[in-house]
């Protein structure tokens, strides 16, 4: 990691590597998130191109640093503890996509993820029945695989691994906008 990232993170351990925007442009800035809260260092840093440098919804940055890097725009290094990373997945997309709110499960992540998995699985089966064309299912199937891994990791008490698996789901959800909007739109 670069010295700036090291400095901003106060040498915290990286919890998750996330891709929160589908954008192939090269970053020109690094945006710094709020303080992690449980010690020195920032909660996250995001690498963004000029088009996205004003910031992203759900990612309130505190400072912007000029920064060139070879990673893709939308790459986020997350330094928060696993529970906080899981909560941010819920806040940003998981609850919107599945209707499953962690608050209703007392913060028991294995239950939250099990329920989200159930909702996604039922929806996919329903879609398959309705369409019968077998198209556009790759993203959903990949997401179900990663969601299953997240469930299993959470059941074993490995929330870091669960957060990592959800990171893949986040990227897939990001890439399947129409599927998502169609499901969320009133019928
Ligand atoms: Zn961008």
Is residue 156 within 8 Å of residue 110, measured between CB atoms? no
Per-residue pLDDT of the chain (187 residues; tens, 9 = 90+): 678 999 999 999 999 999 999 899 999 999 999 999 878 999 999 999 999 998 888 999 999 999 988 899 999 999 999 999 999 999 999 999 999 999 999 989 999 999 999 999 999 888 877 766 555 567 888 899 999 999 999 999 999 999 999 999 999 988 765 433 444 433 3
Select from 110, 112, 118 the least CA-distant residue to 91: 112
Residue 118 Cα to chain centre, angstroms: 19
| Model pLDDT for residues 119-140, shown as the tens digit of each residue | 999 998 888 777 665 555 678 8
Ligand 1 mean position, distance from CA 51 (Å): 5
Q: Whole-angstrom Cα distance, residue 174 to residue 60?
A: 18
Q: How do residues 26-43 score in pLDDT, each as one tens digit?
A: 999 999 999 998 789 999
CA–CA separation, 7 and 48 (whole Å): 19
Distance 84 CA to ligand 1 centre (A): 25
Q: Which of 46, 43, 44, 69 is nearest to 56 (CA)?
A: 46
* Look-up of token digits 């010295």: 3
Where along the chain do its domains lie?
3-78, 82-184
- What separation in Å is there between the alpha carbon of 31 and the centre of ligand 1? 13
User: From the CA of 72, how far away is ligand 1's center (Å)?
Assistant: 8
Cα distance between residue 10 and residue 32, in whole Å: 12
Q: Which pair of tokens denotes residue 53?
A: 């440098």
Question: How many whole angstroms from 53 Cα to the centroid of ligand 1?
Answer: 7
CA of 24 to the centre of ligand 1 (A): 7
| Rounded distance between C-alpha atoms, residue 30 and residue 64, angstroms | 6
Q: Give 22 Cα–ligand 1 centroid separation in angstroms.
A: 7
């Amino acid at each position: 990691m670069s010295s700036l990232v090291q400095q901003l993170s106060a040498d915290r351990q990286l919890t998750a590597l996330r891709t929160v925007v589908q954008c192939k442009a090269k970053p020109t800035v690094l945006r710094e998130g709020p303080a992690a809260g449980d010690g020195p260092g920032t909660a996250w840093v995001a690498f963004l191109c000029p088009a996205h440098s004003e910031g992203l919804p759900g990612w309130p940055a505190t400072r912007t640093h000029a920064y060139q890097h070879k990673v893709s725009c939308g790459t986020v290094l997350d330094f928060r503890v696993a529970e906080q990373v899981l909560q941010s997945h819920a806040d940003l997309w998981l609850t919107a996509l599945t209707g499953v709110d962690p608050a209703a499960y007392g913060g028991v992540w294995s239950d939250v993820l099990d329920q989200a998995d159930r909702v996604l699985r039922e929806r996919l089966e329903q879609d398959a029945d309705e369409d019968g064309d077998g198209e556009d299912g790759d993203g959903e199937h990949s997401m179900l695989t990663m969601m299953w891994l997240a469930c299993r990791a959470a059941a074993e008490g490995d929330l870091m691994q669960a957060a990592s698996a959800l990171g893949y789901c986040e990227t897939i959800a990001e890439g399947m906008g129409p599927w998502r909007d169609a499901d969320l739109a009133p019928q």
